[in-house]
């Protein structure tokens, strides 16, 4: 069974379309049960941000049958200079807690400078960077009317609202795109030792607050199209 995790119902909506779902609540959050494309799946809508994501995922893993795989979907803002456009889809190769650390005279420093990891598991220490399974290879050869990318994602509590803030995150971590939930989901998945992947449609460019150039519905629809193809291959 596959668990799908989305932050908001608009992000989950395109994936839920075209299949029959039973709705209930888990941990105070909406959950949908169904068999899209013949594959048993459950969808949890966590709410925006890291705390909501960690709470919803932990509640699910404590109260429901252990899933075989967790996929997080949704939208994100891409960083300039990487050839990514609004409407493209990105797979995470790793997740980074991009604004967890120290503001210093030398610039932003990650948690490795403190020597205190966020997680120790199986003799490994995890500071800002958490592993994610890049499963983009599973759709290699499929044709989409948008481009597919893979690379590191940055999770932030405050998204880039200026070119300066976007440049700061990009200069420190060199991520492909930014979101507000992924690192928390990767973190909890690692704690429970469940394979985790993340797929996001690009709704905007990081640092650009001109909503006229955003396209959240397309980003969510493109993300859903990719996840539906993945469901048949996991």
Max Cα-Cα span within the chain? 55
Q: In this structure, are residues 111 and 117 in contact, taking their beta carbons and an 8 Å threshold?
A: yes
With a cut of 90, say whether residue 209 has pLDDT above it. no
Res 157: pLDDT: 97
Residue 78 CB neighbour total at 10 angstroms: 26
Rounded-to-10 torsion of CA 137, 139, 143, 144: -100
Question: In the chain, how many domains are there?
Answer: 1
Which residue segment(s) compose the domain that 163 sits in? 2-231
Q: Which helix (H) or strand (E) holds 23?
A: strand 21-26
Confidence of residue 37 (pLDDT cuts 50, 70, 90): confident
Q: What does pLDDT average to over the chain?
A: 96
Measured distance CA(195)–CA(78) in Å, rounded: 25
Task: Read off the pTM.
Answer: 0.96
CATH number of the domain residue 225 falls in: 3.40.50.1580
What are the tens digits of pLDDT across the range 14-35? 999 989 999 999 999 999 999 9
């Amino acid at each position: 069974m596959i668990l799908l995790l989305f932050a908001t119902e608009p992000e989950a909506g395109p994936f839920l379309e075209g299949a029959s779902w039973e709705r209930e609540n888990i941990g105070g959050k909406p959950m949908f049960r169904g068999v899209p494309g013949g594959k048993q799946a459950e969808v949890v809508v966590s709410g925006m941000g890291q705390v909501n994501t960690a709470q919803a995922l932990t509640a699910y893993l404590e109260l429901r049958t252990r899933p075989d795989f967790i996929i997080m979907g949704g939208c994100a803002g891409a960083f300039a200079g990487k050839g990514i456009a609004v409407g493209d889809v990105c797979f995470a190769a790793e997740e980074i807690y991009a604004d967890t650390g120290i503001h210093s005279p030398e610039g932003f420093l990650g948690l490795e400078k403190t020597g205190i990891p966020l997680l120790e598991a199986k003799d490994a220490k995890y500071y800002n960077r958490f592993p994610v399974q890049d499963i983009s290879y599973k759709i290699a050869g499929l044709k989409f009317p948008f481009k597919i990318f893979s690379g590191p994602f940055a999770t932030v509590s405050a998204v880039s609202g200026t070119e300066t803030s976007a440049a700061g995150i990009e200069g420190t971590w060199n991520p492909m795109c930014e979101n507000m939930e992924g690192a928390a989901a990767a973190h909890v998945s690692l704690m429970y030792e469940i394979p985790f992947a993340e797929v996001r449609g690009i709704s905007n460019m990081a640092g650009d607050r001109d909503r006229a150039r955003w396209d959240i519905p397309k980003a969510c629809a493109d993300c859903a199209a990719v996840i539906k193809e993945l469901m048949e291959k996991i």
